[in-house]
């Protein structure tokens, strides 16, 4: 399998701020690569360096096996991107916008091809409407059409579901999965939501303060054995006593005001539920979540507390 993106020891310094710090990762052909981090973690700066919007302070970026800065034009012909908000020319129609960016990509297009592209993102009926009349979701889809119009091998999406309603988020997710499965595109998608990345990515990277925290396949990182079960009962003392005297004693991780936390395989949750019923423990709620989610929430909330303190 070919390496599509190879980032080595990438750093970016903005005056006092080190936005990206010695970051290295690789994206293989066909990957949907989740790039995860809280707001301000350095995701957008990294993506902007991948797209030559920002020059790195140090480190190298190779795309398709070539140095990005020595083969910029050839590489960017194979890259499509939606960067943060999908801002386009509000005074032009969707068709005109798409036509402009198609031409700028250096290839020739027919009207039919452009309309097909708008059809793909569900905008062909509004092709001649001004972009200013579009909803946020429609603009996001048009942004994606612009990114796809030159049939790139690599698609870079920076927070593609920002500002979308639930239906828009689901549509965007399905579109990304379709592009990966049916059109065999390599996709780098950034997000600050773990659940979002978990649903679409096969590999992922979590960064914080510009540094790599975790990288790996989603299946490895979301291993079913690493599930945390939060149990809320009417009688916490009885529940604690019963569990402590059972085979589940070793799984008990923590007891706090919200309930009892146990670490176990996701497959073991139904049996544990039966155990609680058999021992007449009244269950108010039972929630399974992954330890990675805990880890991510921990780093996110830790930083939020610092920000709150600063404010």
Partner 1 sequence: MWKLIKIEVFKIFKKPRTYIAFIAVWAIVSLIQIAIYADGQKYMDFVLKDVKDNFLVIGDPLNGYFVCFVILQTLLIHVPLLVALISADMIAGEANMGTLRLIVTKPQSRTKLLLSKFIASSVYVLMLLLWIAVIGLFLSMGIFGTDGLINAKSSEIILINANDIFWRYLLAFAFAALALITVAALGFFFSIFAENSIGPIVATMSVIIVFTILSTLEIPLFEKIKQFFFTTHMIAWKGFFEMKENADGESIPGTIRNLPAVLRSAGVLAAHTVFFVGASIFIFKRKDVLS
Smallest distance from partner 1 to CB 12, Å = 9
Spatial separation of the C-alpha atoms in residues 217 and 196, rounded to whole Å: 15
- CB nearer to partner 1: give 158 or 226: 158
Smallest distance from partner 1 to CB 249, Å = 54
Q: Are 10 and 61 in contact (CB under 8 A)?
A: yes
Smallest distance from partner 1 to CB 32, Å = 20
- CB nearer to partner 1: give 97 or 206: 97
The site that binds partner 1 (CB under 8 A) totals a number of residues, namely: 31
Q: Strand, coil or helix: what is 2?
A: coil
- CB nearer to partner 1: give 66 or 91: 91
Smallest CA-to-CA distance from 185 within 37, 45, 27 is with 27
Determine, following the binding rule CB under 8 A, whether residue 55 of this chain makes contact with partner 1: yes
Question: Using CB under 8 A, which residues numbered 56 to 95 contact partner 1?
Answer: 72-77, 79, 81, 83-85, 87-92
- CB nearer to partner 1: give 54 or 213: 54
**Among residues 6, 43, 48, 290, which is the contact residue for partner 1, using CB under 8 A?**
48
**Among residues 8, 52, 113, 303, which is the contact residue for partner 1, using CB under 8 A?**
52
- CB nearer to partner 1: give 72 or 279: 72
Smallest distance from partner 1 to CB 21, Å = 17
**Among residues 5, 7, 27, 51, which is the contact residue for partner 1, using CB under 8 A?**
51
Smallest CA-to-CA distance from 146 within 207, 96, 196, 201 is with 96
Helices (H), ranges, the chain: 43-50, 72-76, 94-104, 111-120, 136-148, 166-181, 194-200, 218-221, 236-244, 269-278, 291-310
Spatial separation of the C-alpha atoms in residues 114 and 99, rounded to whole Å: 7
Smallest CA-to-CA distance from 102 within 142, 45, 54 is with 142
- CB nearer to partner 1: give 139 or 212: 139
Question: Using CB under 8 A, which residues numbered 130 to 149 contact partner 1?
Answer: 146
**Among residues 39, 66, 104, 277, which is the contact residue for partner 1, using CB under 8 A?**
104
Smallest distance from partner 1 to CB 104, Å = 4
Determine, following the binding rule CB under 8 A, whether residue 129 of this chain makes contact with partner 1: no
Task: Calculate the alpha carbon distances from 75 to 36, 151, 175, 254 in Å.
Answer: 24, 13, 24, 51
Smallest distance from partner 1 to CB 103, Å = 5
Dihedral sign for Cα atoms in the order 10, 106, 31, 40? positive
Spatial separation of the C-alpha atoms in residues 211 and 42, rounded to whole Å: 8
Spatial separation of the C-alpha atoms in residues 173 and 161, rounded to whole Å: 8
**Among residues 103, 135, 245, 287, which is the contact residue for partner 1, using CB under 8 A?**
103
Q: Strand, coil or helix: what is 240?
A: helix
Smallest CA-to-CA distance from 25 within 196, 213, 158, 296 is with 213
Q: Contact positions toward partner 1, by CB under 8 A?
A: 48, 51-55, 72-77, 79, 81, 83-85, 87-92, 96, 100-101, 103-106, 146
């Amino acid at each position: 399998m070919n390496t599509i993106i190879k980032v080595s020891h990438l750093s970016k310094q903005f005056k006092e701020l080190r936005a990206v710090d010695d970051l290295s990762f690789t994206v293989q052909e066909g990957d949907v690569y989740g790039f995860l981090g809280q707001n301000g973690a350095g995701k957008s700066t990294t993506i902007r360096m991948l797209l030559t919007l920002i020059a790195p302070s140090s480190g190298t970026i190779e795309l398709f096996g070539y140095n990005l800065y020595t083969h910029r034009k050839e590489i960017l012909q194979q890259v499509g991107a939606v960067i943060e908000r999908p801002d386009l020319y509000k005074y032009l129609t969707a068709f005109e916008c798409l036509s402009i960016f198609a031409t700028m990509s250096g290839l020739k297009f027919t009207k039919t091809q452009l309309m097909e592209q708008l059809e793909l993102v569900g905008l062909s009926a509004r092709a001649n409407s001004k972009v200013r009349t579009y909803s946020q979701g429609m603009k996001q889809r048009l942004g994606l059409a612009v990114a796809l119009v030159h049939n790139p091998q690599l698609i870079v999406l920076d927070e593609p579901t920002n500002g979308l309603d639930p239906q828009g988020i689901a549509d965007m997710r399905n579109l990304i999965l379709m592009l990966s499965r049916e059109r065999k595109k390599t996709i780098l998608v950034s997000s600050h939501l773990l659940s979002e990345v978990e649903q679409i990515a096969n590999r992922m990277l979590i960064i914080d303060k510009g540094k790599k925290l975790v990288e790996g396949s989603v299946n490895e990182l979301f291993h079913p054995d690493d599930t945390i079960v939060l149990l809320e009962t009417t009688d916490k003392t009885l529940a604690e006593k019963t569990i402590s005297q059972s085979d589940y004693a070793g799984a008990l991780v923590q007891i706090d005001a919200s309930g009892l936390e146990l670490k176990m395989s996701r497959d073991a949750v139904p049996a544990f539920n039966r155990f609680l019923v058999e021992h007449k423990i009244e269950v108010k709620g039972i929630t399974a979540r992954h330890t990675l989610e805990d880890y991510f929430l921990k780093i996110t909330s830790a930083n939020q507390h610092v920000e709150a303190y600063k404010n």
